[in-house]
Amino acid sequence: MSDLLATPVKPLTAHSALIGASFDRVCDPIEKIVLDMGYEVRRETARMEVDIPLGQVIFDADGAQTRVQFSSPTPPQLQMLKDLYARRFESLGLAAGIKWAKEQQGGMPLNQVGCTIADVTRLSPGFARLRLQGGFSMFAQSGAGLHFRFLLGPEGAAMPSLDENGLTFWPGGQEAWHRPVFTVRQLGKDADWMDVDIALHDGGRTTQWVAAVQPGDQVALSGPSGSKLPTAERLVLLGDETAMPVMMNIMDNMPKTAEITAALALRHPDDMQDPRRSDIAVAHCDMADEDALLTKLAQHLETDRGAYVFFAAEKTQAARAREMIKAAGWPASAARAAGYWGK
């Protein structure tokens, strides 16, 4: 597991449910899923504790039933944890006999922010920037994820809301929603606006939406989620255009003492942005050359032992990057290679 994703669990909020099935019937498959994903499980005769980056889930035997309690450091993480487990219980055939405690009903899911489009700017040949106005205080907390999902629903659908069990209700069904992942490029000082930079590409549903969107339009997003600001003192950042927002965010928000080397693969040289720090020179290569970033990665794996390596690009490139990082004997905690989009 990446250290970027590891969240120390300090439960702030807790919700619970009672499942109408025995402890072993519930915990055997859940334990397997969690262990397969590389996370920790502590299991005794009548109690199981699961720790994942979103929070902690505790299962206790309760006669012929099983009590389950969810706790997370923040309300958005709690919502994601509950929704994740509700889907998991359903896929394991456990949903029919479940009673959710009524801690939270109605209104918006705890990880959802309703926003207004304040501005749409064409930044460069391949990029548009949206300024969103809304309550982004959760994104401003230290240790918050750098990412979110736009919630683009079917024509005329209402925004997702909470059902009577405190779970996210998706009008038209969850599959009908396009939920692409994007990155906070910049957050206002009072967390009342956020900029997001969007790489425009043919056939992209977000590209089509951005072409039609007008100041004053409403949109919802869910977050914060995903990787946080790294903590390393020395970093190598390598990414394609979809990773430019996260790399710029990292370069702009890491302490000035952090030593950063960066390279971006772009379709258009004119898309290149400048980090605020003038001492960081960002190298450029052509995104059409699928080996360009990997060649740079190979060089850094030779020369930058001890640095934290971040790599994000098309998913087959990310898979190759993971193999190279492993083959170089790089500690897993000092690298992350993520697929940001797929062909």
Ligand X SMILES: Cc1cc2nc3c(=O)[nH]c(=O)nc-3n(C[C@H](O)[C@H](O)[C@H](O)COP(=O)(O)OP(=O)(O)OC[C@H]3O[C@@H](n4cnc5c(N)ncnc54)[C@H](O)[C@@H]3O)c2cc1C
* H or E segment and range at residue 22: none
Considering beta carbons, is residue 76 or 226 the nearer one to ligand X?
A: 226
Considering beta carbons, is residue 65 or 206 the nearer one to ligand X?
A: 206
Q: State the greatest distance between any 2 C-alpha atoms of the chain, in Å, as a whole number.
A: 65
102 phi and psi angles, rounded to 5 deg: -90, 55
Contact window for ligand X (CB under 6 A) among 78-86, 87-95, 135-143, 198-206: 198-206
The per-residue DSSP string of 247-290 comes to HHHHHHHS-TT-EEEEEEEESSGGG----S-TTPPEEEEETT-T
Q: Which of 72, 165, 242, 261 touches ligand X (CB under 6 A)?
A: 242
Q: Which of 8, 38, 216, 342 touches ligand X (CB under 6 A)?
A: 342
Distance CA 74, CA 83 (A): 14
Considering beta carbons, is residue 101 or 123 the nearer one to ligand X?
A: 123
CB atoms within 10 A of CB 45: 8
Distance CA 196, CA 227 (A): 16
Question: How many positions of this chain bind ligand X (CB under 6 A)?
Answer: 21
> Using the rule CB under 6 A, is 213 a contact of ligand X?
no
Q: Given CA atoms 312, 118, 132, 181 in this order, what sign does their dihedral have? A: negative
**Cα–Cα separations (whole angstroms), residue 62 to 27, 46, 59, 68:** 13, 8, 9, 10
Considering beta carbons, is residue 167 or 309 the nearer one to ligand X?
A: 309
What part of residues 135-154 is at the interface with ligand X (CB under 6 A)? 147
Q: Which of 86, 98, 162, 199 touches ligand X (CB under 6 A)?
A: 199
| Smallest distance from ligand X to CB 262, Å | 16
What part of residues 153-192 is at the interface with ligand X (CB under 6 A)? 180-183
| Smallest distance from ligand X to CB 341, Å | 4
Considering beta carbons, is residue 79 or 206 the nearer one to ligand X?
A: 206
Quote the distance between the C-alpha of residue 84 and its chain's center: 14
> Which residues would be at the binding site for ligand X (CB under 6 A)?
147, 180-183, 197-199, 201, 203-207, 226, 242, 245, 340-343
